[in-house]
């Protein structure tokens, strides 16, 4: 056998080994992804929370009370974030169940005596008389109220209640998993970040590290922009609720601030408040409150939020806006962070491409 053919055997053997290792790694990665596929959104939420709160975590570790105590700092911040999210939700659920119980008692009484039409119904322009007649026909008597409200006591309503309870428990377990992963990321974040940056540098070079840093800045800028918008809009609309004469303006303002972190979601709160004012015959206050909320929402979600997020990563206004809404359409609520992050990385690649063309020209 010629000597040069025998020299090819070690090379071919090495290639086969490399190919086998790559195939095994690919199979293991696919199997691992298949195992944790249901938890990938929860892992992504935990990473987003960790990236956005990492400066707070570092300042917490640098404090005199927790200087260098990584575990205690991670536990403290994780518990704080959990309480910050769960406390208002728990309060809202308690109020919801209390209102549901009161509504159930009211409906039981209504089925015994009927529901008389409210005074403001007949005062409505053009349709007041017809609306009152329809109300009396549907709810005005005991027989009509029993017929109209009967579906509330059927198995369908009980089924909806069970579904709601099941969904609530599922969301609670998911949130606890997010907190558990967040605790792990806090504890091992420095090591994980060094490993990720080192792997990125080895695979893509220094430019890969820069893209990762831009992605982290985009996530942090998106979270900061949403929180600032939510706080300011909650305060301004809380003042509007107070001036409109609504009860519990502080609670309504807090709820609006939470919903305002999602683009255009605050309309659900101030829109419902406007309907309550209209139902109480305060039509002028209802129109003014709704108009005030719509102006704030349009300015905040179309101009202020994209500017705040775009300035953090030097992302143009239009790409920030497309990242926010396109991300939500593609990935749901998680897309609020993934969309601008993807746009920031793509913009970095585009700028590097243009810079390379300028150098080669």
pLDDT at 154 over 50: no
| pLDDT tens for each residue of 278-320 | 877 788 888 999 999 999 888 887 788 777 777 766 777 778 7
User: 342 and 230 share a domain?
Assistant: yes
Torsion of CA 192, 195, 198, 203, to 10 degrees: -110
- Which pLDDT belongs to residue 155? 44
When divided into structural domains, the chain yields a total of: 2
Of 204, 224, 252, which one is at a domain's C-terminal end?
204
User: 212 and 170 share a domain?
Assistant: no
Across all residues in the chain, what is the average pLDDT?
78
pLDDT at 144 over 80: no
Of 204, 220, 255, which one is at a domain's C-terminal end?
204
Q: Select the more confidently predicted residue: 182 or 149.
A: 182
In a domain, 28, yes or no: no
| pLDDT tens for each residue of 6-59 | 555 565 666 777 777 778 878 888 888 788 788 888 888 888 888 888 888 888
> CA–CA distance from 317 to each of 94, 305, 340 (Å)?
41, 9, 11
User: 94 and 117 share a domain?
Assistant: yes
In a domain, 254, yes or no: yes
Whole-model pTM: value is 0.69
User: 158 and 305 share a domain?
Assistant: no
Torsion of CA 209, 211, 213, 216, to 10 degrees: -140
Q: Select the more confidently predicted residue: 264 or 151.
A: 264
pLDDT at 156 over 60: no
Angle formed at CA 247 by CA 246 and CA 250, multiple of 5 degrees: 100
User: 186 and 211 share a domain?
Assistant: no
pLDDT at 122 over 70: no
Structure tokens at 48: 């987003």
User: 114 and 173 share a domain?
Assistant: yes
| Cα–Cα distance for residue pair 235/291, rounded to 1 Å | 16
DSSP state at residue 64: S
Q: Select the more confidently predicted residue: 117 or 257.
A: 257
User: 249 and 263 share a domain?
Assistant: yes
User: 105 and 244 share a domain?
Assistant: no
Q: In terms of C-beta density within 10 A (0-12 exposed, 13-18 middle, 19 or more buried), how is residue 202 classed?
A: exposed
In a domain, 142, yes or no: yes
Q: Select the more confidently predicted residue: 78 or 153.
A: 78
Structure tokens at 354: 């243009």
User: 131 and 254 share a domain?
Assistant: no
Domain containing 256 equals: 205-354
User: 143 and 263 share a domain?
Assistant: no
In a domain, 360, yes or no: no
Of 147, 173, 204, which one is at a domain's C-terminal end?
204
User: 111 and 211 share a domain?
Assistant: no
| Cα–Cα distance for residue pair 301/235, rounded to 1 Å | 16
């Amino acid at each position: 056998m010629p000597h040069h053919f025998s020299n090819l055997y070690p090379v071919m053997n090495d290639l086969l080994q490399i190919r086998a290792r790559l195939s095994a790694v690919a199979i293991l990665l696919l199997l691992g992804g298949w195992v944790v596929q249901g938890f990938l959104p929860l892992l992504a939420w935990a990473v987003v929370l960790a990236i956005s709160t990492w400066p707070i975590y570092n300042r917490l570790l640098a404090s005199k009370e927790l200087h260098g105590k990584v575990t205690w700092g991670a536990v403290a911040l994780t518990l704080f974030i959990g309480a910050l999210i769960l406390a208002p939700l728990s309060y809202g659920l308690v109020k919801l169940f209390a209102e549901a119980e009161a509504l159930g008692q009211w409906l039981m009484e209504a089925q015994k005596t009927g529901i008389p039409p409210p005074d403001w119904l007949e005062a409505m322009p053009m349709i007041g008389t017809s609306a009152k007649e329809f109300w009396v026909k549907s709810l005005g008597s005991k027989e009509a109220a029993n017929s109209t409200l009967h579906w509330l006591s059927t198995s369908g309503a009980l089924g909806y209640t069970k579904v709601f309870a099941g969904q609530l428990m599922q969301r609670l377990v998911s949130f606890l998993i997010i907190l558990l992963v967040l605790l792990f990321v806090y504890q091992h974040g420095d090591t994980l970040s060094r490993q990720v940056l080192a792997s990125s540098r080895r695979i893509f070079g220094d430019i890969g590290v820069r893209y990762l840093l831009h992605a982290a800045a985009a996530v942090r800028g998106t979270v900061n922009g949403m929180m600032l918008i939510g706080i300011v809009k909650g305060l301004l609309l809380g003042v509007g609720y107070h001036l409109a004469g609504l009860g519990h303006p502080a609670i309504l303002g807090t709820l609006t601030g939470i919903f305002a972190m999602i683009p255009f979601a605050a309309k659900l709160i101030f829109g419902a408040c406007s309907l309550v004012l209209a139902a109480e015959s305060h039509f002028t206050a209802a129109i003014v409150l709704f108009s005030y909320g719509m102006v704030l929402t349009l300015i905040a979600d179309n101009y202020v939020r994209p500017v705040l997020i775009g300035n953090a990563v030097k992302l143009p206004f239009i790409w920030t806006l497309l990242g926010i809404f396109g991300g939500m359409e593609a990935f749901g609520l998680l897309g609020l962070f993934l969309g601008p992050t993807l746009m920031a990385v793509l913009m970095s690649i585009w700028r590097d491409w243009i810079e390379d063309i300028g150098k080669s020209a």
